[in-house]
Structure 1
Amino acid sequence: MIFGPNPSESAAGTILAHGLRVGAAWWPKGRLLSPADIDALHAAAIETVIVARLEAGDVAEDAAAAQLAARLAGDGCMVEPPVHGRCNIRAGADGLCLLDIDVLDAVNRLDPALTIATRAACAAVRAGEIVATVKVIPYAVPQTLVTAACAACHAPSVSVAAYRGQPAALVQTYLDDPNEKLFGKTERVLRQRLARLGSTMTILPTVPHTVDALAKALSEAPAGSLLLVQGASATIDPRDIIPEAIRRAGGHVERVGMPVDPGNLLCLGWLDGRAVIGLPGCARSPKRNGVDLVLERLLAGQPVGSGDIARMGVGGLLDDTAERGIPRARPPRLTIGAIVLAAGLSRRMGANKLLLDLGGAPVVRRTVEAALAAELPVLAMLGHESETVTAALEGLPIMQAHAACFADGMGATLAEAARAIPADWDGALVMLGDMPSIDPETIRGLIAAFDPERGRDIVYPLYEETRGHPVLWGRAHFAALAALSGDTGARGLLAANRLRTLAVPVDDPGVLADVDTPQAYAALQAMWPLRR
Structure 2
Amino acid sequence: MKLVRTEDAEGCILCHDITQIIKDKKKGPVFRKGHIVTREDIPVLLSVGKENLYVWEQEEGMLHEDEGAEILRRICQGGSSAEAAFDGAVKCFRYMSASEAKEGKIELTAETDGLLKVDSGALYRVNSQGEMMIATRHGNTEVKKGDKLAGMRVIPLVIGKDKMDRAEKAVQEENGGAPILSILPFRAKKAAIITTGSEVYKGRIKDTFTPVLEEKLGHYPVEIIGHAVCDDKPEMVTEAILRFLGEGADLVLCTGGMSVDPDDRTPLAIKNSGARIVSYGAPVLPGAMFLLSYMEEGQAVMGLPGCVMYAKRTIFDLVLPRVLADDPVTAEELAHLGEGGLCLNCPVCTYPNCGFGK
TM-score, with structure 1 as normaliser: 0.53
Match of 2:244 in 1: 221
Match of 2:301 in 1: 276
8 Å contact from structure 1 (residues 96, 123) kept in 2: yes
Instruction: Give the alignment's Cα RMSD to 1 decimal.
Output: 3.4
Match of 1:193 in 2: 216
8 Å contact from structure 2 (residues 286, 311) kept in 1: no
Aligned pairs (5 A) from 1:64-75: 64-74=68-78, 75=94
8 Å contact from structure 2 (residues 117, 184) kept in 1: yes
Inter-partner Cα distance in structure 2 for 1:45 and 1:293: 51
Inter-partner Cα distance in structure 1 for 2:143 and 2:262: 33
Q: How far has the Cα of 1:227 moved from its partner?
A: 1.0
Q: Which secondary structure does the structure 2 equivalent of 1:220 belong to? A: helix
Q: Which secondary structure does the structure 2 equivalent of 1:83 belong to? A: coil
* Largest Rg, 1 or 2: 1
Aligned pairs (5 A) from 1:423-462: none
Match of 2:182 in 1: 159
Inter-partner Cα distance in structure 2 for 1:20 and 1:269: 59
Report the CA distance shift for 1:55/1:142 in structure 2 as closer, same or farther (over 3 A). Answer: farther
8 Å contact from structure 1 (residues 2, 55) kept in 2: no
Q: Which amino acid aligns with 1:36?
A: R
Match of 1:13 in 2: 13
Match of 1:449 in 2: none
More divergent stretch after superposition (302-311 vs 99-108) = 302-311
Aligned pairs (5 A) from 1:367-516: none
Q: Which secondary structure does the structure 1 equivalent of 2:199 belong to? A: coil
**Cα deviation digits, residues 441-495 of structure 1 (max 9, x gap):** xxxxxxxxxxxxxxxxxxxxxxxxxxxxxxxxxxxxxxxxxxxxxxxxxxxxxxx
Q: Which amino acid aligns with 2:166?
A: A
- 2:326 counterpart of 1:301: yes
8 Å contact from structure 1 (residues 104, 157) kept in 2: yes
8 Å contact from structure 1 (residues 268, 276) kept in 2: yes
Match of 2:143 in 1: 125
Decide which of 238, 262, 286 is 2:286's aligned counterpart. 262
- 2:124 counterpart of 1:105: yes
Consecutive unaligned residues in structure 1, runs of 5 or more: 325-532
8 Å contact from structure 1 (residues 17, 50) kept in 2: no
Inter-partner Cα distance in structure 2 for 1:245 and 1:302: 25
8 Å contact from structure 2 (residues 6, 46) kept in 1: no
Decide which of 229, 248, 258 is 1:206's aligned counterpart. 229
**Cα deviation digits, residues 118-142 of structure 1 (max 9, x gap):** 1101011112212222122233322
More divergent stretch after superposition (138-147 vs 116-125) = 138-147
Q: Which secondary structure does the structure 2 equivalent of 1:205 belong to? A: strand
Q: How far has the Cα of 1:250 moved from its partner?
A: 3.0
Decide which of 91, 95, 117 is 2:114's aligned counterpart. 95
8 Å contact from structure 2 (residues 72, 153) kept in 1: no
Q: How far has the Cα of 1:317 moved from its partner?
A: 2.1
Q: How far has the Cα of 1:87 moved from its partner?
A: 1.2
Match of 2:62 in 1: 58
Q: How far has the Cα of 1:301 moved from its partner?
A: 0.9
Inter-partner Cα distance in structure 1 for 2:48 and 2:321: 62
Aligned pairs (5 A) from 1:328-339: none
Inter-partner Cα distance in structure 1 for 2:239 and 2:117: 37
- 2:81 counterpart of 1:77: no
Inter-partner Cα distance in structure 2 for 1:106 and 1:238: 51
Q: Which amino acid aligns with 1:296?
A: P
Structure number with higher helix proportion: 1
Match of 1:364 in 2: none
Q: How far has the Cα of 1:14 moved from its partner?
A: 4.0
Report the CA distance shift for 1:47/1:303 in structure 2 as closer, same or farther (over 3 A). Answer: closer
TM-score, with structure 2 as normaliser: 0.76
Report the CA distance shift for 1:133/1:235 in structure 2 as closer, same or farther (over 3 A). Answer: same
Inter-partner Cα distance in structure 1 for 2:46 and 2:348: 65
8 Å contact from structure 2 (residues 199, 205) kept in 1: no
User: Percentage identity across aligned positions?
Assistant: 26
- 2:271 counterpart of 1:247: yes
Report the CA distance shift for 1:47/1:106 in structure 2 as closer, same or farther (over 3 A). Answer: closer
Q: Which amino acid aligns with 1:302?
A: D
Match of 2:39 in 1: 36
Q: Which secondary structure does the structure 1 equivalent of 2:237 belong to? A: helix
Inter-partner Cα distance in structure 2 for 1:29 and 1:44: 13
Inter-partner Cα distance in structure 2 for 1:45 and 1:191: 59
Decide which of 51, 54, 61 is 1:48's aligned counterpart. 51
Q: Which amino acid aligns with 1:70?
A: R
Q: Which amino acid aligns with 1:82?
A: A
- 2:315 counterpart of 1:290: yes
Inter-partner Cα distance in structure 1 for 2:105 and 2:19: 18
**Cα deviation digits, residues 146-168 of structure 1 (max 9, x gap):** 33323433121110011112211
Q: How far has the Cα of 1:270 moved from its partner?
A: 3.0
Report the CA distance shift for 1:59/1:243 in structure 2 as closer, same or farther (over 3 A). Answer: same
Inter-partner Cα distance in structure 2 for 1:315 and 1:266: 17
